[in-house]
């Protein structure tokens, strides 16, 4: 799924405008431009945004490819230690759901946490997807 670039947690109007000057207006465009380290460097140079932040947003966009993971759950997954589709595909759904609940109780990132069955569906989707991001 592709979302407007501002749907990624941490990208507001200001960063969104900078990314749009580099031709990036959606999560899919961000993934295409920033899948490789050289692409992330180019976007960082063109926009004045740090490579670290560009990578963080690229990771969130990667997770948002999975149906059911929007901006809030992508941020919660990252906070629980799952930052890419490649990482999610190797996770145990029960353990991941429990970790997400634990992190959310502490950080209050979302109003609700996904059930283990939903996380299991995400893991299954992740296993069927090709990894995009190179480090």
pLDDT at 72 over 90: no
Listed residue (46, 66, 43, 62) closest to 54, CA to CA: 43
Average pLDDT, the chain: 96
pLDDT of 114 reads 97
Say yes or no to pLDDT of 71 above 90: no
* Inter-residue contact 14 to 47 (CB < 8 Å): no
Rounded to two decimals, what is the model's pTM?
Answer: 0.93
C-alpha–C-alpha distance, residues 59 and 129, integer Å: 15
**How confident is the model over 7-43, as pLDDT tens digits?**
999 999 999 999 999 999 999 999 999 999 999 999 9
């Amino acid at each position: 799924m592709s979302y407007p670039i501002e749907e990624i947690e941490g990208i507001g109007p200001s960063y969104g405008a900078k990314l749009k000057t580099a031709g990036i207006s959606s999560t899919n465009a961000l993934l295409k431009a920033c899948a490789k380290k050289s692409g992330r460097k180019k976007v960082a140079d063109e926009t004045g945004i740090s490579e670290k932040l560009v990578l963080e947003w690229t990771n969130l966009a990667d997770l948002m490819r999975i149906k059911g993971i929007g901006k809030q759950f992508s941020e919660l997954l990252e906070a629980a230690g799952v930052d890419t589709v490649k990482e999610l595909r190797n996770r145990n759904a029960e353990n991941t759901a429990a970790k997400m609940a634990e992190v959310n109780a502490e950080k209050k990132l979302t109003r609700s946490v996904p059930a283990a069955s939903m996380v299991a569906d995400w893991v299954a989707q992740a296993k069927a997807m090709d990894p995009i991001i190179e480090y």
